[in-house]
């Protein structure tokens, strides 16, 4: 290692984290091996080495699935952040278990071939043009090579040498490795397994990873859009559907008067919060018969233009609104009292 870098910056949290990680892996392997013995048909118990091959492969795939779930989970809830803090330890452990799985496969199935074991792995099944008979072992080997590159460059030394952008690009290849391993397991199950339970579990894991990334990505996009809109003078009033029908939420700008954001069915309006009569909080009132009713003395205002219905002449300022990714944005600049503004509609593209 270069000067200034240590192999592992140990601290009590890292030790506890790795102890839990190791214990979890031991329990997983023990449970998988035990289930393999108990669930095997009578008189057809697989050999111990085959059980270890399956258990190590399942452990590596499960750990990689957990690793890929941590990123989106950390964006959805801060409770997952401590796990992300030491995620590289999980990555290295995943590679080591996958390496054990791959080494056992080569030794058990190709160690006694007339060819070199690695050559035998690649040439024993040459049906690369057959979708149903494709050599799934080569896909697993390709995924293992990617995991090796990631484990070998996981240290901060390589981050400094390669630079953050290139280092991140290298480690984003984990998704390619995950895809290769999914194909490896699915093809192996289709070609050699009697049941489809293993393939179903792998497909479910892939859907879980994809679903979490989609949900987290949409939330991040909504936050980014809201932040960009706020930079242009728009204030985030929260989800449109969180506003009770016929009621309002009160938006407090960093400066200026409070704003009452009302919902009437699918329509969203924003008006000044202060009633013209005695400054009553309109946002604590409700919409009745198409008019905002002040909770203090019952003064009424049309939400679309802030004007009282005839014969009254009171008027309050209105505010432009928009809905982006389901969130209500209100412009901080008030329109002149009585200005007619079209409502934003829930469900329409912002």
pLDDT of residue 1 exceeding 50:
no
pLDDT of residue 150 exceeding 50:
yes
pLDDT bucket at 42, cuts 50 / 70 / 90 = low
pLDDT tens digits for range 107-147: 888 777 677 777 777 777 777 777 777 888 888 999 999 99
How many residues are present in the chain? 350
Stretch 324-344: mean pLDDT: 92
pLDDT bucket at 76, cuts 50 / 70 / 90 = confident
Domain boundaries, the chain: 12-228, 234-345
Name which residue leads in pLDDT, 90 or 44. Answer: 90
CA angle 177, 181, 186 (to 5 degrees): 150
CATH architecture, domain defined by 234-345? 3-layer Sandwich (2.102)
pLDDT of residue 94 exceeding 70:
yes
pLDDT of residue 7 exceeding 70:
no
Euclidean distance between CA atoms 206 and 202, whole angstroms:
6
Question: For the ranges 25-34, 158-167, 200-209, 261-270, which has the lowest average pLDDT?
Answer: 158-167
Distance of CA 99 to the CA centre of its chain: 28
Stretch 206-218: mean pLDDT: 93
Question: pTM (2 decimals)?
Answer: 0.66
Mean pLDDT across the chain, nearest whole number? 86
Closest CA to 63 of 39, 107, 27: 27
pLDDT tens digits for range 231-283: 678 898 999 999 999 999 999 888 778 999 999 999 999 999 999 988 899 99
To the nearest 10°, the Cα dihedral for 156, 162, 165, 168?
Answer: -50
């Amino acid at each position: 290692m270069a000067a200034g870098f240590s192999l592992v910056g140990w601290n009590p949290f890292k030790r506890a984290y790795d102890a839990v990680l190791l214990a979890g892996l031991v329990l997983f392997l023990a449970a998988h091996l035990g289930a393999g013995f108990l669930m095997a048909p009578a008189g057809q118990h697989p050999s111990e080495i085959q059980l270890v091959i399956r258990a190590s492969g399942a452990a590596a795939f499960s750990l990689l699935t957990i690793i890929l779930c941590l990123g989106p989970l950390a964006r959805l809830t801060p409770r997952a952040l401590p796990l992300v803090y030491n995620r590289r330890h999980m990555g290295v452990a995943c590679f080591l278990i996958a390496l054990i799985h791959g080494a056992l496969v080569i030794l058990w199935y190709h160690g006694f071939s007339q060819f070199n074991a690695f050559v035998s792995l690649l040439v024993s099944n040459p049906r690369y043009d057959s979708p149903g008979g494709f050599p799934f072992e080569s896909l697993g080997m390709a995924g293992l090579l990617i995991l090796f590159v990631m484990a070998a460059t996981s240290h901060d030394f390589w981050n400094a040498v390669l630079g953050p952008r290139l280092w991140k690009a290298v480690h984003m290849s984990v998704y390619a490795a995950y895809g290769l391993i999914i194909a490896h397991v699915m093809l192996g199950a289709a070609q050699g397994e009697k049941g489809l339970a293993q393939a179903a579990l792998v497909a479910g894991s892939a859907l879980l990873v994809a679903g979490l990334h989609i949900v987290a990505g949409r939330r991040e996009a909504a936050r980014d859009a809201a932040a960009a809109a706020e930079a242009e003078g728009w204030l985030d009033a929260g989800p449109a559907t969180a506003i009770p029908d016929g009621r309002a939420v009160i938006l407090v700008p960093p400066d200026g008067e409070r704003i009452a954001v009302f919902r009437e069915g699918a329509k969203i309006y924003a008006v000044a919060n202060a009633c013209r009569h005695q400054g009553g909080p309109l946002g604590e009132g409700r919409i009745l018969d198409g008019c905002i009713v002040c909770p203090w003395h019952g003064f009424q205002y049309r939400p679309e233009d802030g004007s009282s219905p005839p014969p009254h002449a009171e008027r309050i300022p209105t505010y432009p609104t928009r809905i982006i990714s389901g969130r209500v944005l209100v412009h901080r600049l008030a329109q002149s009292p009585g200005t007619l503004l079209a409502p934003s509609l829930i469900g329409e593209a912002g």
